[in-house]
Amino acid sequence: MSTATKRTIRTVLQGAAGLAVTLPAIVDAAGIPETLPWVAGTLAVAGALARVMALPAVEQLLDRIGLGLIDEKGPAS
């Protein structure tokens, strides 16, 4: 897998985690009641996703599947 592809996949994952972190503020700013079942479920999933993405084990998993932060060729010059 090319480095560009790895970076694209990681960016999508990080974007999802970023959205998960900001989703409660978005819901609050939009005035959507948090007690609606679909909103509550979405917020719960978003919170879980943000928490899971922060775990060191996730970085280890990404390393195992070839999406680790360190490129095989070393740091860019």
Q: How far, CA to CA in Å, does 19 sit from each of 1, 12, 14, 35, 45?
A: 26, 10, 9, 20, 11
DSSP character for 74? -
Each residue's pLDDT, cut to its tens digit, for the chain (77 residues) gives: 777 888 788 888 878 877 877 888 888 899 988 788 888 888 888 778 778 877 888 878 878 887 776 655 555 54
pTM above 0.75, yes or no: no
The reported pLDDT for the residue numbered 63 is: 82
